Structure 1
Amino acid sequence: MKLQHYLGGLEGLPEPLNLEKRVFVEDWEQRIFGIHVAMMGLSNHLGAALPQYPIDDVPTSFKDEWTWASLRTGAEAMNPFDYFKFRYYEKWLGGITQFFIDQGYVTEDELSSRQAELAAEQAPSAPEPEAAIDDQVVDYLRKGDSPRRDVAHPKFAVGDRVRITNVPAAAHTRLPGYLRKREGTIERIFEGDYGYFVHTGDGIGDPMPIYIVAFSPDELFGERAEPGALTIYAELFEAYLEGVQ
């Protein structure tokens, strides 16, 4: 499993993590956040989302699907050395840029040319967006969209013992590395079957139940676990669980 997928439970990191408390460190990071939100508000999956949006009628040239899962996939697919070298929104910038290149919206040469224009302060002014595009993005910001597609159809029940699978790691996963092959107890079942929009290659994507699974520190960390009445909870897709005989 790639190291950057999940740092929880790891020992021997070279130094304590520096937790930046500012939401945006530099002004350009706000623009990256805005681009991501606009892409989500214009994503073509919204026509089938809850609530359904008239996305086919919006006069935008963006005709692809973009969700949080898309952003995470792009960031976590980075080379591990680059992933740890860059700050949070630098990872966003890398993932979004690569997406636009891969989908043919822009070429690397065009990006280089644009960078030269900006460096020389000769960049042309951006065209004003159509009102219908703005209206769709604002509507999305107000209403959001839900990955829930049905009532829950769980394979497991509250109180069941389950083992976490050790599926091969894909470019992106929602399975914390330190939980693999560990056993826990179903604490709660969420009310619906939820899709993940992106098929990650390790079992999730199509709608399925999500569970809260409780683990004892001893199960996860053995004799290294800290003493006391502690319980660790994780929200996990059903594809990551298997029954304990």
Structure 2
Amino acid sequence: MKLQHYLGGLEGLPEPLSLEKRVFVEDWEKRIFGIHVAMMGLSKHLDSALPAYPIADVPTTFKDEWTWASLRTGAEAMNPFDYFKFRYYEKWLGGISQFFVDQGYVTEEEIAAIIADPKDAPGGGDPAIDDQVIDYLRRGDSPRRDVAHPAFSVGQQVRIADLPAGAHTRLPGYLRARTGTVTRIFEGDYGYFVHTGDGIGDPMPIYIVEFTPEELWGVRAEPGANSLYAELFEAYLQPIEEDK
């Protein structure tokens, strides 16, 4: 598991974490957010995310899938110390840029040339693509596939799995092998954008699990601290009986 997923209770970080509350710190960050949304609206995953979506009619030369999982995988692939150094949308910029390089849409040399002389950056736009992205935003992109079919019930104690790390995960490292209590089951079975290799991808229930500070941090838990609640896919939960 990558270091950045173990932040809960981690001691000895090189400097205090920044709790910046502004959504966008600089204007260019809005453009990065817009690029990500446009890529989602032009992605090949739409025909599975939205049944019967007319994917063949999407007016673009972008022939790849781009989802939230793609964005997160790019950020998680960073050196952990770089991950802590950069702000939120700086990580987005790195992940999106590397994706375009890896997929052959642009070279590192072309990016460097544009940085050196911004006036050479391509301009213009296609109104049909604008219409497509707006249509995507209106339709949405729901991961829900069915009503919930939970294997666990509210009030049940569960053990969190300790699965091999993959390129991307939705399981915080500090919850691994910990015991918690199910407090809510979401109404549907939900898929994830990709199969991560640690159990999620196909539709399954999602739970809210409560953890006490003592369970997570032992003697380091502060007196009077609140419980921690985590939203977890069913693949990350195990019955306590398996330990007996």
For normalisation by structure 2, the TM-score amounts to 0.91
Tell me how far 1:5 sits from its aligned partner.
Answer: 2.4
CA deviation map 1:99-155 (0-9, x unaligned): 11111211222222322331xxx32551321x3211111122233211111221222
1:159 offset after TM fit, Å? 2.0
Distance 1:104 1:124, change over 3 A: closer
In 2: Cα distance, 1:227 partner to 1:79 partner? 34
Deviations 1:60-84 (A, max 9, x none): 0112111111101101111112212
Structure 2 residue ranges without an equivalent (≥5): none
Give 1:236 deviation, angstroms. Answer: 0.4
Give the secondary-structure state (helix, strand or coil) at the position aligned to 2:120.
Answer: coil
Deviation per residue, 1:162-200 (Å, 9 max, x gap): 100111122221111111111111111111111111222
Give me the whole-angstrom Cα distance separating, in 2, the residues matched to 1:230 and 1:80: 28
Unaligned residue ranges in structure 1 (runs of 5+): none
| Deviation of the 1:226 alpha carbon | 2.5
Q: Which amino acid is the alignment partner of residue 55 of structure 1?
A: I
What do you get for the CA RMSD once the two structures are aligned?
Answer: 1.8
Contact 2:114-2:121 within 8 A present in 1 as well:
no
3-state DSSP of counterpart to 2:154: coil
What residue in structure 2 maps to residue 197 of structure 1? 193
1:11 to 2:11 alignment: yes
1:128 corresponds, among 119, 125, 128, to 125
Structure 1 segments of 4 or more deviating over 3 A?
Answer: 50-53
Percentage of pairs with the same residue: 78
User: Counterpart amino acid of 2:120?
Assistant: A
For the 8 Å contact 2:213–2:228, the answer to whether it is kept is yes
Q: 1:146 to 1:243 in 2, by over 3 A?
A: same
AA aligned to 2:124 is P
* Structure-to-structure mapping, 1:138-157, within 5 angstroms: 138-157=134-153
The alignment partner of 1:44 has SS state of coil
Please show how residues 1-245 of structure 1 align to structure 2 within 5 Å.
1-50=1-50, 53-118=53-118, 122-123=119-120, 125-129=122-126, 131-228=127-224, 230-245=226-241
